[in-house]
Structure 1
Amino acid sequence: MNSKTVRPEEVIQQQLDAYNGRDIEAFMACWADDALYYEHPDTLLASGKGEIRERHISRFKEPSLFGERVKRMMVGNLVIDQEVVTRNFPQGRGKMDVIAIYQVEQGKIAKAWFKTGPCEPDEGAL
């Protein structure tokens, strides 16, 4: 798909599908080389593809990793997802609410901001 014609929401769906498939190469293909990754509102967690990859390599080894999209909104080149993310934490499997805001430029994620809620034990894991 030509990066100039891909819609921002398609990039974000590809990224979410790769996340859920724990496919680091497909996931990273959605990010710009100089992408910025923030904890909302302005705490920089990773700068550039290399740092973003490092943040996700161990996460992608978690057997329960899954992001369930609840809602998606789009305005121009911004895509906002509400998700429930399941992860494996030291205390066991848990779920947390996540708001993800993505800025897409030229078919790649240029900036992303994440706001996470508290981790709740996953009742289905008991």
Structure 2
Amino acid sequence: MIHDPSPLAVVQAQLDAYNARDIEALLATYAADAQQHVLHGERLAHGHAEMRPRFLARFAEPDLHARLLSRTVMGGVVVDLELITRNFPEGLGTLEMLCVYEVAQGRIQRASFAQGEKRLLAAPPSAPP
């Protein structure tokens, strides 16, 4: 449960739940009929039933982590720039993600995402034989 319904607190609770891979806490930050979209584009999910499998698929990645780079709050809109560490099929990497959250009544009503370029991380040097 979010004790402070301010847009800033709601979005921070969402980020914390994402990094903790806590699906119930994460969905609790979203309105039951919330929508997720590609920024200015297609709908990714509508409601908790469509969001849950999307988040659970990400949570299966062992190195998943979102690091907040910057945040802007204007009224009920919170814009985060995050650096996401992911386990891509090609290997461990990062990508920047611009996240625009529209918050009302203590819940995220709509989230839009713009994905930056994927960058693979250099593999750690192998141990000598």
How does the TM-score come out when normalised to structure 2?
Answer: 0.91
State the alpha-carbon separation in 1 of the partners of residues 112 and 64 from structure 2: 19
CA–CA distance in 2 between the matches of 1:2 and 1:13?
A: 10
How many residues align? The count is 124
User: In the aligned structure 2, how far is the partner of 1:46 from the partner of 1:61?
Assistant: 19
Partners of 2:104 and 2:30 lie apart in 1 by 10
The aligned runs of 1:41-52 (5 Å cut-off) are: 41-52=40-51
DSSP 3-state at the match of 2:40: coil
User: SS at 1:58's partner residue?
Assistant: helix
Aligned 1:1-126 pairs, distance under 5 A: 6-123=5-122, 125-126=123-124
Query: 1:89 offset after TM fit, Å?
Result: 0.8
Aligned to 2:127: none
Following superposition, the deviation at residue 2 of structure 1 comes to: 6.9
Q: Deviations over 1:71-91 (max 9, x none)?
A: 000111000001100011111
Deviation at 1:114, TM superposition (A): 0.2
Give me the whole-angstrom Cα distance separating, in 1, the residues matched to 2:99 and 2:57.
Answer: 20
RMSD: 1.4
Gaps of 5+ in 1: none
CA contact (8 A) 2:2 2:13 kept: no
For residues 21 and 39 of structure 2, the distance between their equivalents in structure 1, rounded to whole angstroms, comes to 24
Q: Structure 1 residue 42: deviation in Å?
A: 2.4
Structure with bigger gyration radius = 2
Identity of aligned residues (%): 41
AA matched with 2:16: D
Task: Answer whether contact 2:83 2:94 (CA < 8 A) is retained.
Answer: yes
4+ residue runs of structure 1 moved beyond 3 angstroms? none
Q: TM-score, normalised by structure 1?
A: 0.93
Shift of 1:58: 1.4
Deviation at 1:57, TM superposition (A): 0.8
